[in-house]
Amino acid sequence: MTTHLVLNPATAQPVTEVRLTTLDEADAAIERAHDAFPAWRAVAPGERAMLLRHFATVVDDHIEELAELEVRNAGHTWGNARWEAGNVRDCLNYYSAAPERMFGRQIPVAGGVDLTFHEPLGVVGVIVPWNFPMPIAGWGFAPALAAGNCVVLKPAELTPLTAIRLGELALEAGLPEGVLTVLPGKGSVVGERFVTHPLVRKVCFTGSTEVGKKIMAGCADQVKRVTLELGGKSANVVFADADLKAAAATAPYAVFDNAGQDCCARSRILVERTAYDEFLSLLEPAVIGLRVLDPTDEASEMGPLISAQQRASVLGYLDDAKVAFAGSAPGGDGFWVPPTVVLSDDPAERVWREEVFGPVVAVMPFDDEADAVALANDTEYGLSGSIYTRDLGRGLRVARAVEAGNLSVNSHSSVRYWTPFGGYKQSGLGRELGPDAPNAFTEEKNVFIAH
Ligand code: NAP
Ligand code: MG
């Protein structure tokens, strides 16, 4: 098969057909990126900065177009899709300040001068999943380009449209040919080639833990640099002293945003036993009130799942789960699942342990702080989490005790482009975003000059 039929997940109707990059074409693109590298790394810092800022401006001029593509291709709500396109612009603007700031160090030594340099790696391969096609692409390419690398980027087969458009906008903004190349295609062909091709010096992968492990093992063969952003099973810990109304009102958005297809989804809610009944009674109207509508409707707060396969996988978790209550969802041929709350009393349950990646949240009571921390950490994942309490000392203590990369207290925020993002344990390896991201796309070189 040389093409992929892109479907609108809200209706299951075809949107367009996309040609898949072949292995030979992937090789040729990697070689072109390698050829473009010497000139790109030699672009003066101020000029590279200007090109990235120009790219950001061109993206900004196309926010509505990009958002519309994502609404149709990924079933994202308008609000999310506009935010996502804006996030690409913001990442480009933020990292456009990096080229002039790739500071080295001068380290005191006897008999000479010691200097360090951050040298770009060369060609970087970015592999993107279908859940957040635009932001995850930008988190990879913006800092990588700023540090002087060339990027080859493979979008998910299911959601290639915004990435293809971003590749065109990069050229329109004046980035030289070969500096950012978008290669729609199969993971097993194009993605795998990023791992095996010796000219690709780093792989930046976001997706399932299962594929992430294979990528890490494959990269070992060439000691290739790798960053992994994988799955999650994050806990939302609600203490009895919390503002329970606020905790219950925000909890649905922390897990059902993007129909739960979010590696940071707070898909386990832990509630202190003394507040358990009250919290559930506040949670129910918040879940029922969620506006699950066709995402072309501006009022929609939650859209469909990405595919029939994902829908089947999510529904499989509900077979043996104890459903407390569920919201509504449109009928029709789209890949809809209503937001669903299940009650868990055994941490061994599949719905409590596994990343559902759909609009399903499991709720469990806990007895005290130590119990809450132990339950939150009883997972091989460690990406994010939230703590609701009016006791800020406890908020900070629990945030420090939870083995995860991104915690928020009395909030569910986890991703800001200017703060570091990444996972503990099997949720990932390395960090993206934040002030240090460009350094992750460099080698630190040490040079000693004798007096
Ligand atoms: P996936 O298989 O890990 O896909 C992620 C990306 O990796 C896609 O671009 C995929 O290409 C590519 N890929 C697949 N196999 C590859 C290989 N052998 N070598 C190189 N690249 C490869 O994820 P999925 O199958 O779409 O989703 C399955 C589950 O993963 C979800 O249900 C969810 O639990 C988890 N997931 C997590 C995240 C996250 O943000 N952490 C994101 C997405 C999915 P193709 O599109 O061609 O397969
Ligand atoms: Mg897969």
Choose the CATH number for 3-230+427-450 among 3.40.605.10, 3.90.1720.10, 3.30.70.1730, 3.10.129.10.
3.40.605.10
List the one residue out of 286, 239, 304, 282 whose CA is nearest residue 80. Answer: 304
Domain 235-416 is classified in which CATH homologous superfamily?
Answer: Aldehyde Dehydrogenase; Chain A, domain 2 (3.40.309.10)
Ligand 1 and 192: CB distance under 6 A: yes
How far is it, in rounded angstroms, from Cα 118 to Cα 98?
Answer: 12
- Amino acid identity for residue 301 in this structure: E
Residue 9 backbone class (left: φ over 0; alpha: ψ -120 to 50; beta: rest): alpha
pLDDT for the residue 290: 97
CA distances to 20, 25, 34, 252 from 28, rounded to whole Å, are 14, 5, 10, 46
Ligand 1 and 230: CB distance under 6 A: yes
- Cβ–Cβ under 8 Å, residues 92 and 142: yes
Catalytic residue chosen out of the listed positions 84, 229, 272, 432:
229
pTM beyond cutoff 0.75 = yes
How far is it, in rounded angstroms, from Cα 45 to Cα 102?
Answer: 9
Among all ligands shown, which has an atom nearest to the Cα of 129?
1
- Cβ–Cβ under 8 Å, residues 201 and 122: yes
Distance 254 CA to ligand 1 centre (A): 22
How far is it, in rounded angstroms, from Cα 85 to Cα 161?
Answer: 13
Ligand 1 and 265: CB distance under 6 A: no
List of residues 6+ apart from 440 with CB closer than 8 A: 143, 227, 430, 431, 432
From the CB of residue 315, how many other CB atoms can be counted at a distance below 10 Å?
14
Distance 3 CA to ligand 1 centre (A): 19
- Cβ–Cβ under 8 Å, residues 401 and 407: no
Residues of the chain with pLDDT under 50: none
Q: Is 263 one of the annotated active-site residues of the chain?
A: yes
Domain ranges of the chain: 3-230+427-450, 235-416
Ligand 1 and 207: CB distance under 6 A: yes
Token pair recorded at residue 172: 């329109």
338-347: Cβ within 8 A, 24+ apart = 338/292, 339/252, 339/256, 339/260, 339/287, 339/290, 339/292, 339/302, 341/280, 341/283, 341/284, 341/287, 342/318, 344/268, 347/375, 347/378
pLDDT for the residue 414: 74
Residue matched to tokens 């635009």: 134
Q: Is 432 one of the annotated active-site residues of the chain?
A: no
How far is it, in rounded angstroms, from Cα 409 to Cα 236?
Answer: 10
SS3 labels along the chain: CCEEEEEECCCCEEEEEEECCCHHHHHHHHHHHHHHHHHHHHCCHHHHHHHHHHHHHHHHHCHHHHHHHHHHHHCCCHHHHHHHHHHHHHHHHHHCCCHHHCCCCEECCCCEEEEEEEEECCEEEEECCCCCHHHHHHHHHHHHHHCCCEEEEECCCCCCHHHHHHHHHHHHCCCCCCCEEECCCCHHHHHHHHHHCCCEEEEEEECCHHHHHHHHHHHHCCCCEEEEECCCCCEEEECCCCCHHHHHHHHHHHHHHHHHCCCCCCCEEEEEHHHHHHHHHHHHHHHHCCCECCCCCCCCCECCCCCHHHHHHHHHHHCCCEEEEECCCCCCCCCCCCCEEEECCCCCCHHHHCCCCCCEEEEEEECCHHHHHHHHHCCCCCCEEEEECCCHHHHHHHHHHCCCCEEEECCCCCCCCCCCECCCHHHEECCECCCCHHHHHEEEEEEEEEC
Ligand 1 and 188: CB distance under 6 A: yes
- Amino acid identity for residue 134 in this structure: M
How far is it, in rounded angstroms, from Cα 198 to Cα 195?
Answer: 8
pLDDT in tens, 401-411: 999 999 999 99
pLDDT for the residue 416: 97
pLDDT for the residue 1: 62
Ligand 1 and 355: CB distance under 6 A: yes
Pairing mode, if any, of strands 225-229 and 428-429? antiparallel
Distance 188 CA to ligand 1 centre (A): 10
Ligand 1 atom index nearest CA of 157: 46
Residue matched to tokens 């995402």: 295
How far is it, in rounded angstroms, from Cα 133 to Cα 258?
Answer: 12
How far is it, in rounded angstroms, from Cα 8 to Cα 76?
Answer: 10
How far is it, in rounded angstroms, from Cα 119 to Cα 242?
Answer: 48
